[in-house]
Structure 1
Amino acid sequence: MKNRIITISREFGSGGRTVGKRTAEQLGIPCYDRELIQKIAGKSGFAEGYIKSLDETAPGGFLASAFSNRTFGQTNEDYLWNIQRKVILELAEQGPCVIVGRCADFILRDQADCLTVFIHADLAFRAQRIVQVYGEREDSPEQRIRDKDKRRAAYHRFYTDMKWGYAKNDQISLDSGLLGIDACVEVLKMLY
């Protein structure tokens, strides 16, 4: 596979999706984020709402390892993971693109010419951003951020056996709060 792919993992509220979309627009290549849910729904037969409800959440939560229903076969989450993997591999085959989240960095690690990126920022920046950009309530955005990041980390660990956000797992880590969204986009364009 010769196509250049940018994969973006991100902390909730850091602007990783925005960085990915703007980078793709300026490079003239597609960006896949929520579009992956539509493609997974089309291949799996599951409703988009159901897939979104499981979005980047580790199967079974806390009790998954102790009381796994894998004894009885593949779970819906495992089935969707396999379809997600196939969709991401197909998109990478089709041409250069940006893929946000969904363990694309891990899935494409040996399959494509990837620039793996992690976007992060301090909690105050992210809390302010989710209130302003997403219309989140102002009373406890920090808790929503912690919960969402915890789910993303558990999902990543469950399917990749790698620590989410660990600097050695990505080629570059950018602090969007310090650098700004536009500067992050410029760095990725330069490295592409």
Structure 2
Amino acid sequence: MKDHTLITISRQYGSGGREVAELLAKRMQVRCYDRQILYLAAEKMDAGEMDISAILDMSYKMPERTFMDGVTSLGYETIPPYNKMYREQAKAIRNIAEKESAVFLGRCADVVLKDFPECYNFFIYADEEYRKNRAKELYGNKTFKELEKENRTRERYYNYYTGQKWGDPQNYHLMINTSQIGPEKAVDLIINYVENCRK
């Protein structure tokens, strides 16, 4: 794959999106960034002593009423002052993207990197039954209701900070249902798609 390729992965909880991102990064021989972005943002905010649960909690904070407050095309210039976490995450993502190829999991990276020409955005989703099975086997026996609650949190967060609709096909180069093909073949699809875009 061409030098300086950026891939963003958004995903439904329970679809195997994290596995896809990690396998893809391994195939590309690049780093997969997810929670590392939170640590970098927390460091900038002088929150280094906080534990991961507190950092994760802070990373999803937003106003009770989800209206837009003049977010720019980069998605981070006018975030309300009481929540600096999103802004610092966006800066960390852009700093990494300027230096190296990488795979970014979540964190609204598709919008943060929208002006980078070699950035490709993918949304991973799956059928209800597939997600239910993964929830039992791989997610500590979570219920489907718990999966959907996490999805609603991701959706509200994404919609608020980006001004776009989470899961809308218009926001991604390709949406992949892992129910039938699984994570490995999803990675094949992503690599083939990017390579074909460059022909």
Q: Give the alignment's TM-score, normalised by structure 1.
A: 0.86
Which ranges in structure 1 are unaligned for 5 or more consecutive residues? 66-72
Q: 2: CA distance between counterparts of 1:147 and 1:188?
A: 28
Q: Give the CA RMSD over aligned residues.
A: 1.6
Offset of residue 49 of structure 1: 3.1
Give runs of aligned pairs for residues 160-171 of structure 1, distance below 5 A: 160-171=162-173
How many pairs align?
Answer: 177
Residue type of the alignment partner of 1:90: N
**Cross-structure match for 2:144:** 142
Partner of 2:10: 9
Q: 2:55 aligns with which of 17, 37, 51?
A: 51
State the partner residue of 2:106: 101
Counterpart-to-counterpart distance in 2, 1:74 and 1:41: 15
Structure scoring higher RCO (CA < 8 A, sep ≥ 6) equals 1
Q: In the alignment, residue 87 of structure 2 is paired with which amino acid?
A: N
How far off is 1:26 after superposition?
Answer: 1.2
1:186 to 179, 185, 188: 188
SS in 2 for 1:99: strand
Distance 1:130 1:54, change over 3 A: farther
Q: Look up the SS of the partner of 2:103 in the other structure.
A: strand
- Report SS of the residue matched to 1:117: strand
Q: CA deviation at 1:39?
A: 1.4
Partner residue, 1:74:
81
1:13-66 CA-to-partner distances (Å, cap 9, x unmatched) read 1111110000100110110012212212222212243221134x35133x455x
CA–CA separation in structure 2 for the residues paired with 1:64 and 1:95: 34
For residues 74-98 of structure 1, what are the alpha-carbon distances to aligned partners after superposition, in whole Å with 9 as ceiling and x for unaligned? 113xx11110110000110121010
Q: Which of the pair is proportionally richer in helix?
A: 1
CA distance 1:93–1:144, change in 2 (3 Å): same
Q: CA deviation at 1:148?
A: 0.6
TM superposition score normalised by structure 2: 0.83
Deviations 1:85-120 (A, max 9, x none): 100001101210100001000000013411100000
The alignment-based identity, stated in percent, is 29
